[in-house]
Amino acid sequence: MVKEDKDLEETVNTGILEDSAAEISEEDLEVLEEATVSPEDELQELKEKLLRAQAEVQNVRRIAAQEVTKARLYGVESLAREFLSVGDNLERALDSCSEESGVVLIREGLELTLKGFEGSLATAGISSINPKNESFDPDRHEALSLIEDNSKEDNTIIEVIQTGYMIQDRVLRPAKVIVSRKPKIN
């Protein structure tokens, strides 16, 4: 069909067909009719393509929404698994208390549990803020009180009351601290 179109075009261009419609054969007319697509057909084809594209976009949006929902619901799953082992260790520590064990063994068990807890946090990208003897940073620390102290620089953290935590580079919970200040000279 493409070859016939080219032959017809060459015939028209070379002037073999002159302006008389009588010289165009029925066969040439059929080739011309087949080669041309009606605007209605082209419009219908474009509408179908548009509908397919819209359906594809809707499918992508739906799948993305499902993935976001799954991430929200199950994103903490690995963290929860880590904490289950910490809970198991606490249960073992409580069981050992009833067996008239020494306080030293209970302390060792609790220290191991605390290490397991810190390991679980580290696995989830959570680090502790334990800023003793550091400068006070209001973005990472919450001052509970000020104590006058000549031996420390102003705004130095003397004591950490509650450890703070960060997840990546964001503060999850600020550290609660006691801060030093120089005594006022009268």
Count Cβ neighbours within 10 Å for each residue of 136-161 and write b for 16 or more, e otherwise: beeeebeeeeeeebeebeebbbbebe
Does the domain at 128-186 match CATH 2.30.22.10? Answer given as: yes
pLDDT tens-digit readout, 44-58: 999 999 999 999 999
pLDDT at 17: 46
| pLDDT of residue 14 exceeding 70 | no
pLDDT tens-digit readout, 16-50: 444 445 566 777 767 666 667 778 888 899 999 99
Percent of the chain at pLDDT > 90 equals: 20
| pLDDT of residue 171 exceeding 80 | yes
Quick one: tokens of 122?
Answer: 């580290």
| pLDDT of residue 64 exceeding 70 | yes
Backbone angles phi, psi at 184, to 5 degrees: -75, 135
Say if residue 45 is exposed, middle or buried (CB neighbours under 10 Å; 0-12, 13-18, 19+): exposed
- Strand arrangement, sheet containing 164-167: 126-129, 164-167, 170-173
Percent of the chain at pLDDT > 70 equals: 76
